[in-house]
Amino acid sequence: MRNDILTVTLNPALDLSAHLPCMTAGPKLRLHDPVIEPGGGGVNVARVIHELGGNVSAWVALGGTSGAQHLDLLRAKEVVVHVFEAPGETRQNWAITDAMGQQYRLQLPGPDWTPDSFRNRANDALDSITALANGPVVLSGSQPPGLDPAFPQTLAARLGPGRLVVDTSGDAMTLLITRPEILLCLLRLDQAEAEAQAGHPLADPKDAADFAKALRSKGVAELIAIARGADGNILAAPQGVFHARPPQVPVLSKIGAGDSFTGAFTLALAQGQSPSEALRLGTAAAAATVMSAGTGLCRAADVTRLLRDCSLAQLDA
């Protein structure tokens, strides 16, 4: 892999976080300590790669006044941005934390890529992404309403086998798993997504490992990663199946942990590290992110410190 990473965000969001004493229905609730960040899966991945010293640019579909604000915030973080005009106003997401540490996450669906406009806009998006891609491409985050679930498969076909990293959800995720057409570089699933796709609970690391191996055998991706929260991450790779565990850390917010994993993992691969070492770095980045409040992401110093204490075990040795 070349160390020239392009991230793709089809459904970005202005991420707004704030605090209040208690979430109660009825009265006006006055928030304090508000923070606004440029968000969305691929945007977060790009921010993490940039924070860790990688070469990255972010392709982002933005629209309207909130899209303009999103762009200003992302540029302020010194991330190289390629803007694609979205067919509507960029959405906003809210993360509200109460005095007990409970977090409430409210997400809007995003602009509608309606069936009438889908074909031209989607084809334009595919042309734009493939023209910019000269290394690994990371497609991360939800798809906007109205976009064909086959978009990731079509993009993977345009790029060629082993080029696309995917961390998505919903019908797009299901299609990649049930009808694999071209080998991805990496497919990442969180615990809930993996259990939904498996059709049964994945109660322990072995269950997750078996499912990850099954997806590899099916030709879904060269690498399959399954997140297990505080228990770390499972990776099925050509070299074997691995389990990386982070040290215990204080959890302030889980927002962006998966994106941080994907960003650090992809960067490690692009730098020539082995999949198992990429797994450790991704696990450290995810752990560092949950230490940040609201929609904050990992800090490079925390990732470096936590990496030393991330354990790695081969499950099929």
Catalogue the active-site residues.
Answer: 259
Compute φ and ψ for 285, nearest 5 degrees.
-65, -40
- 91-97 and 103-107 beta bridge pairing: antiparallel
Residues 6+ apart with CB under 8 A from 145: 109, 110, 111, 112, 113
Q: Which of 88, 154, 161 is nearest to 122 (CA)?
A: 154
Rounded Cα distance between 172 and 142, Å, is 9
Rounded Cα distance between 234 and 202, Å, is 12
β-bridge partners, 58: 7, 81
Residue bearing tokens 């490992």: 209
> Using an 8 Å Cβ cutoff, are 244 and 287 in contact?
no
* SS3 (DSSP) at 291: coil
> Using an 8 Å Cβ cutoff, are 84 and 6 in contact?
no
The Cβ-side half-sphere exposure at 33, using a 13 Å CA radius, reads 12
Q: What is the DSSP letter of 27?
A: S
Give, in order, the Cα–Cα distances in Å from 97 to each of 37, 41, 102, 248.
Answer: 16, 21, 6, 22
Taking residue 210's Cβ as centre, other Cβ atoms within 10 Å add up to 16
> Using an 8 Å Cβ cutoff, are 185 and 222 in contact?
yes
Compute φ and ψ for 76, nearest 5 degrees.
-65, -25
Rounded Cα distance between 278 and 249, Å, is 20
